[in-house]
Amino acid sequence: MQEFTLDDLVQCYRTGIFPMSDARDDETLFLVDPPLRGILPLEGVHVPSRLARTVRNTPFTVKIDTAFRQVIELCAESAADRESTWISHSIQSLYEALFARGLAHSVEVWDGTQLVGGLYGVAINGAFFGE
């Protein structure tokens, strides 16, 4: 079987496809091509003043790309409502390599020095594909 490369992953995102696994320790990848994708256009986004005030007055800090590995590892952890994850170790390695190339990013929410939320995703040609 031919190895799935970073270039393959980038090409998948360019066509709306993304890889998954059945579990954290499953090294088998399969590609998902959903019939519909949600798109949030950022041009002309209106943030209501009350929401902006709430965000400004919270104790949280939002940072970008300061804890990529930690974010993806926390996203891959099991939870009460999810025993397993689609983020296998091999998928994590692919995204970490994309991060090293500057194509993957993390958005982190911090409460002081504690990471309390976040997401990671892929940025290609002005589009951000959040995972």
Per-residue pLDDT of the chain (131 residues; tens, 9 = 90+): 468 899 999 999 999 899 999 999 998 999 999 998 887 777 888 989 998 998 889 889 999 999 999 999 999 988 888 888 889 999 999 999 999 999 999 999 999 999 999 999 999 988 889 98
CA distance 128 to 70: 19
Q: Distance between the two ends of the chain, CA-based, in angstroms?
A: 27
- Looking at residue 73, its amino acid is E
- Looking at residue 82, its amino acid is R
Give the gyration radius of the chain's Cα atoms.
Answer: 16
**pTM, two decimal places:** 0.84
